[in-house]
Structure 1
Amino acid sequence: MTTEYGVCTLALVPLRAEASDKSEILSFLLFGDCVEILETQAKWLQVRTLADDYTGWIDPKQQQAITASQLEALTKDQIVTGLAVYQTIERTDNQEKQYLLAGSRIPKPNQQHTFQIGESTYRFSQAPQIAAGTDFSRDINEYARFYLNAPYLWGGKSIFGIDCSGFTQMVFRMLNIDLPRDAWQQAEQGNVVNFLQEIEPGDLAFFDNDEGRIIHVGIMLDSQQIIHASGKVRIDILDDQGIYNAEMGRHTHKLRIIKRFNP
């Protein structure tokens, strides 16, 4: 049986738990994200994301079928879009506009600012803003703060709505580090930081519930400040107990472990 693939061709596409518009949104695909198609129904596709191995359902009209060779071309020389709320592109055959959110993966554009996905060619309306991805310790603060005040959204991965692990995943993606989708998966990677005094900018702090399950993650800006998605992307204080929210006057998340991922 031949494996079938698709690529997201819209700015943001919900990945649902079941084949229904009423179903829970597990995550989102951004423009350029590629998937393996697992099952085809009349109005739905079950897919597995190739970037982070997440399975869910999408509307088939929100993707474009691609061959294995087109998939290889798409993923061979990719870039990630940088710190712009959105960037405008258009299809050269019909001049239809599209919008790329920060953290979208696309083939590297040529000098005319065009790139190809499947049979379609796209052109940036102006010189594209590309993610830095070269100096983690220098750039982590700027890239994390880009999402400040983005509203919390379960499964979200954009400045218009984002959850805690989507926030860490997207910031790290733009700095050339791939993380899994969920907080508990991210906590299984990286190197342990044993003491708060050893924290460096970009370390990830993980938090658990009363059953010991990892339920939250945030990015350390320094040894005391953490930026994380809780209600909105916000900056709070971290101590040996966890996150202290000054507005609420109490600790809101219990610290479990701190990990380091930067190269």
Structure 2
Amino acid sequence: MKFSLFAIMNQQFGVCNLSLVPVRTEPSDRSEMSSQLLFGDHFTILETTDKWLHILIAHDDYEGWIDRKQFEEIEHAAFVALHDLHTILGLSLSHTITKTASNEKLNLIAGSNIPNALDRFFYLRDTKYKLEGDTIKPAKDKFRNGVADAAMFYLNAPYLWGGKSVFGIDCSGLTQMVFRQFGLKLKRDAYQQAEQGELVGFLQECKAGDLAFFDNDEGRIVHVGIMLDNEQIIHASGRVRIDSIDNQGIFSKESGRYTHKLRIIKRI
């Protein structure tokens, strides 16, 4: 991540200081939510209006619009520090932090970024917080053995377009948030994630954590799920669910039919 001195001096940066903030495709409350920011997610500000910010999210290079009341501006040094941060909240339903000055509480979700805490106290810019609980340091070497349990944390979470939490999540949000627990960065949308990793040639060669991608009749990748083994997949369709998969695609026992057509399998 390199910035020229001129670019830094003329650029603005921000961080999400709320538990979960909608990212919209257009600067309007009526525009669809395409993603979400978690507490501690940082971004570059591309454009501002009276009410909205056009942002580029550092974690996945995703663009969108957020309400100007739902962020805190930070300096470039703080942006870099957050970019290099490797401390997040683990797989619990909620995590509570408290603003020490006002005693206000925020309930955060799994995967939220927490600046390095000392005795469970940390700062986000000038605001001091106390964390009720522990953070984790994602470890890539734990991915293959831990990915199934991490994915199961979201089992039966309702489908929500653009969602990234156990309270509502979409297919690529599920894969992104599960991989985030192990320090593995995925892009935001399924077709973008399909461009990452290495191709797995045969379904029988799949390992837990491989990503299966599915296309529509026009050949566009529109869905993704996490392989649990070479016969089962966990994915978000209506809800986060486990279904059977074969070379043709995902077979739903509930509907008695194939619901998604398999395109490729990738290993990150």
Q: TM-score, normalization: structure 2?
A: 0.94
Deviations 1:208-236 (A, max 9, x none): 00111000000000110000000000000
* 1:109 aligned onto 2:111: no
1:217 matched residue in structure 2: 224
> How many residues are aligned here?
259
Contact residue 26 and residue 155 of structure 1 kept, 8 A: yes
Q: Note the 1:1-263 alignment, pairs <5 A.
A: 2-110=10-118, 112-125=119-132, 127-130=133-136, 132-133=138-139, 134-261=141-268
Contact residue 87 and residue 138 of structure 2 kept, 8 A: no
Contact residue 79 and residue 108 of structure 1 kept, 8 A: yes
Counterparts in 2 of 1:252 and 1:103: CA distance versus 1, 3 Å: same
2:6 matched residue in structure 1: none
Unaligned runs of 5+ in 1: none
SS of 2:260's partner is strand
Unaligned runs of 5+ in 2: 1-8
Q: Percent identity?
A: 56
SS of 2:148's partner is helix
CA distance in 2, matches of 1:74, 1:194: 37
Q: Could you say what the CA RMSD is over the residues aligned between the two structures, in angstroms?
A: 1.2
User: Given residue 190 of structure 1, which amino acid in structure 2 is its aligned partner?
Assistant: G
CA distance in 2, matches of 1:83, 1:171: 9
Contact residue 86 and residue 138 of structure 2 kept, 8 A: no
User: Given residue 28 of structure 1, which amino acid in structure 2 is its aligned partner?
Assistant: Q
Q: Per-residue deviation at 1:18?
A: 1.2
CA distance in 2, matches of 1:149, 1:87: 20
Deviations 1:116-160 (A, max 9, x none): 1111111112x3142653411110111000000000000110001
CA distance in 1, matches of 2:85, 2:176: 20
User: Given residue 262 of structure 2, which amino acid in structure 1 is its aligned partner?
Assistant: L
Q: Per-residue deviation at 1:73?
A: 2.5
Q: Per-residue deviation at 1:31?
A: 0.5
Q: TM-score, normalization: structure 1?
A: 0.95
Contact residue 152 and residue 161 of structure 1 kept, 8 A: yes
